[in-house]
Amino acid sequence: MKATRVLIRGLVQGVGFRYFAERSARHLGLVGWVRNLADGRVEAVAAGSGDDVAAFVAQLRQGPAAGRVEAVEVSETTLEDTVSRFEIRH
């Protein structure tokens, strides 16, 4: 299982980005979470097969129709054992 942390910058808050990410991750069978950051970015951590995580990152680069992604930072990470599905965190 591969875990990836993604930081997304642009018009990504107030446009349904977290719900877009949640739907995308669940469709791909990933576990993890997504949340808004105080600086206006969105952070997501997702774990699953390498191909599914790569597809998720590609979808985040596009974002929802109402948003505008300006930059994406991707790094490997670990996911806490208590996560059993993909969720929106507040």
Q: What is the pLDDT of residue 81?
A: 76
Count of structural domains within the chain: 1
* Number of Cα atoms under 13 Å in the Cβ half of residue 61: 9
Residue 13 lies in a domain: yes
Residue 52 lies in a domain: yes
Question: In terms of residue numbers, what domain contains 36?
Answer: 2-78
> Residue 56 CA to chain centroid, in angstroms?
7
> Residue 38 CA to chain centroid, in angstroms?
16
Q: What is the pLDDT of residue 17?
A: 98
Kindly list the averaged pLDDT for each block of 10 residues, start to end, along the chain of length 90.
Answer: 95 98 98 98 97 98 97 94 90
Residue 88 lies in a domain: no
Q: What is the domain-level CATH number for residue 51?
A: 3.30.70.100
Residue 22 lies in a domain: yes
Q: What is the pLDDT of residue 13?
A: 97
Q: List the catalytic residues.
A: 18, 36
